[in-house]
């Protein structure tokens, strides 16, 4: 049976400032690196066979910490990049309202389409399903990308909660589709070491 773990990257300065990141290549800040280290400490060695990551720096830095701790090979794949935010990248909500008005979401600001995101996401899933059909695969990516892909893979799941930085979501392939047994898990961000994944 194939197991997939989705990890959202650690926190960045732009996350804290409320700036849209999209495809902008923003690094983790020190807290983001510490979040990645905390998650790595909570994951049992050997549970994951391989790690794939977006090639954007914030995801790659998170994945490097995990892959090193887990002793697994790391693969970069640009299909795992965040949704491109077009003209809004680098801006806060207040800046967007000032520039384009309160109805800015109704304008064409160059967002990557939902169809484009899902096409590259499903292409990636098909590839890893054929390569790793009986393995555990850890995927480090971005909040909007992961959430859209999860809802495509499990359309009736109701997974609408925003994913937290370094959260873990785990899916198991049941033969006909996917089951989710862990969603938006962040217990590694608290000081309790009693639970290992």
Domain boundaries, given as residue ranges, for the chain: 3-189
Q: Say whether 165 counts as a known binding-site residue.
A: no
DSSP state, 161? S
* Number of helical H runs and strand E runs in the chain: 6, 6
First to last CA, the chain: 17
Q: Say whether 133 counts as a known binding-site residue.
A: no
Q: Say whether 10 counts as a known binding-site residue.
A: yes
CATH architecture of 3-189: 3-Layer(aba) Sandwich (3.40)
Distance CA 78, CA 120 (A): 9
What is the percent of the chain where pLDDT is above 70?
A: 95
pLDDT, tens only, 15-66: 999 999 999 999 999 999 999 999 999 876 558 999 999 999 999 999 999 9
By annotation, the residues acting in catalysis are: 9, 82
Q: Quick check: helix, strand or coil at residue 150?
A: helix
pLDDT, tens only, 157-188: 888 899 999 999 999 998 888 999 999 999 99
Does the predicted TM-score (pTM) go above 0.85? yes
Q: Residue 84: is its pLDDT beyond 50?
A: yes
């Amino acid at each position: 049976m194939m197991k997939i773990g989705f990890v959202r990257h650690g926190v960045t300065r732009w996350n804290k400032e409320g700036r849209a990141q999209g495809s902008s290549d923003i690094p983790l800040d020190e807290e983001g690196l510490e979040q990645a280290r905390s998650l790595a400490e909570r994951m049992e060695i050997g549970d994951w066979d391989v790690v794939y990551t977006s090639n954007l720096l914030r995801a790659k830095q998170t994945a490097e910490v995990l892959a090193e701790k887990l002793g697994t090979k790391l693969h970069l794949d640009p299909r795992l990049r965040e949704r491109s935010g077009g003209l809004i990248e680098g801006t806060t909500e207040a800046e967007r309202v000032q520039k384009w008005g309160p109805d800015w979401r109704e304008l064409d600001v160059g967002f990557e389409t939902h169809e484009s995101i899902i096409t590259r996401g499903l292409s990636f899933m098909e590839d890893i399903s054929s390569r790793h059909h009986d393995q555990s695969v850890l995927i480090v990516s971005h909040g909007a990308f992961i959430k859209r892909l999860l809802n495509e893979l499990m359309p009736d799941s109701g997974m609408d909660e925003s994913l937290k930085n370094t959260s873990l979501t785990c899916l198991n392939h049941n033969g006909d589709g996917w089951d989710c047994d862990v969603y938006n898990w962040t217990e590694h961000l608290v000081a309790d070491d009693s639970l290992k994944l």
